[in-house]
Chains A and B, each alone.
Chain A
Amino acid sequence: ELKVEQNPLFLSMQEGKNYTIYCNYSTTSDRLYWYRQDPGKSLESLFVLLSNGAVKQEGRLMASLDTKARLSTLHITAAVHDLSATYFCAVPTNSGYALNFGKGTSLLVTP
């Protein structure tokens, strides 16, 4: 059974600080997705990581993928309040098309 584990599940951080969210998955996958969800909203695609060593950056967020370690990281640089949201990582299911999601990391950035 494919498992996707994120940690931490809850994160409270001060503005201006850096932090990393980790996503481990249990079976081989060459793709990994990161999404953001604001309260009461749907999912917004942040990053699609397609190969080992892939690194993508958008603003204060940077995501990386190590397929050998089955690990992806989402690094937050100099956090700002607008980054407060829940972040999900996901990998393809065995069918290769749908997604299996982690439990999500609820991030709160405080002044």
Chain B
Amino acid sequence: SAVISQKPSRDICQRGTSLTIQCQVDSQVTMMFWYRQQPGQSLTLIATANQGSEATYESGFVIDKFPISRPNLTFSTLTVSNMSPEDSSIYLCSVDRGRRNEQFFGPGTRLTVL
């Protein structure tokens, strides 16, 4: 398995501001993923972050709104920029580990935008 931590665990932010979410893994991984879970909804993939290259964004998500950094094999950040109430969600990072391609999820960051 993998031990994944995220900071902050939750935050309440004002409209128009930005928040950077950190994801730390206890061992080196090639790929890290960022998902969004809107209230009462399923998970939607935002982007895939590989170390040393630009993140790959899914349809409907753009780099200007969700810039991602991946400076090394154990760490990534997701920034939610120019926030609006529609950005209120849980943001989760995950990693792909093991021969079974099992994906493990961090504890999530619960974001509320006022």
Interface size class of B (residues with CB under 8 A): 20 to 34
**Cβ contact of B43, chosen from A31, A45, A48, A101, cutoff 8 A:** A101
With the chains together, A31 CA to B56 CA distance in Å?
22
B interface SS class: strand
Contacts of A88 in B (CB 8 A): 42-43
**Cβ contact of A101, chosen from B42, B100, B101, B106, cutoff 8 A:** B42
Contact assessment for A42 and B103 in the assembled complex, using a CB-CB cutoff below 8 Å: no
Contact status of A42 and B105, CB under 8 A, knowing A97-B31, A97-B48, A98-B33? yes
Shortest CB distance A36–B (Å): 11
Interface residue tally for chain A (C-beta within 8 Å): 23
Name 17 interchain pairs, CB-CB below 8 A, sorted by A: A33-B103, A41-B107, A42-B92, A42-B105, A42-B108, A45-B103, A48-B100, A50-B100, A88-B42, A92-B101, A93-B45, A95-B56, A98-B45, A99-B33, A101-B42, A101-B44, A104-B42
